[in-house]
Amino acid sequence: MQKSILFFLGALASTVAAAPQYTASSLLFARAGECSSASQCPAGYCCSQYGYCGTGTEYCGSGGSSGGGSGGSGGSFPGLDDVQSRNAAAAIGEVRAEGLNRQACLAVISTALQESTLHIYANNAVPESLNYPHDLVGGDQDSVGMFQQRPEWYPDIAKDMSAAGSTSQFLAAMVAIPGWQTMEISALDQAVQKAEAGNLYAQRIPLATQVCDAAGGW
């Protein structure tokens, strides 16, 4: 009998240790499409379009009730349409995947808003770019993608034409800049892009702030 009790207690302890622990971090970083899984969001929470657990219309849709479904907010970030929101979500996902912070999110979104209004551009001057999914076709020299990256400096066209891939390239250039963590956002954008009209990034920061704050979890 004593052995049976000890075995039961040991099994119970193992079960408790293995149970999901819902910290603030784990709730914020639940993955999209898995909100009904107990390992992602607890019962009574919905998963938003962008993969965060919570309650209310921004997580559960217009019904406003929770229950572990795949609800969302109509697919759009504040001030963005569905296409822009899709690209923003992919970009923000890459920021998170690289372990970066709100400063990086603001730089990514404000730059992409200025360069392409958060659209993925192909370019007839770069025929290969037309082979990849794109939102629009542009003609600014040989610039392509969401950040208008030029093959001379970014020769991997597949990455240039991917929201996540082009974001990764932007971030690689950004983190190589000394002091990027505390730079003013428009100055950081310009330091990465080296644009002719670098003063224009500042006008995009208010909307970028709304988008990054809506994403949450920073």
For the ranges 11-20, 24-33, 85-94, which has the lowest average pLDDT?
24-33
Summary mean pLDDT of the chain: 78
Say if strands 121-123 and 53-54 run parallel, antiparallel, or are unpaired: unpaired
Task: Specify the pLDDT at position 3.
Answer: 47
| Paired sense of beta strands 46-47 and 136-138, if any | unpaired
Instruction: Please tell me whether the overall predicted TM-score, pTM, comes out greater than 0.95 for this model.
Output: no
Q: What percent of the chain has pLDDT over 70?
A: 66
What is the per-residue pLDDT across 19-52, written as a single tens digit (0 to 9) for each? 333 333 333 333 334 443 333 454 555 565 555 5
Tokens of 123: 């370019």
**Residue 122 scores a pLDDT above 90:** yes
CA distances to 20, 36, 50, 57, 106 from 115, rounded to whole Å, are 42, 37, 23, 31, 14
Euclidean distance between CA atoms 60 and 145, whole angstroms: 32
Question: Which of the given ranges, 4-8, 31-35, 59-63, 146-150, has the highest pLDDT on average?
Answer: 146-150
Res 167 pLDDT > 60: yes
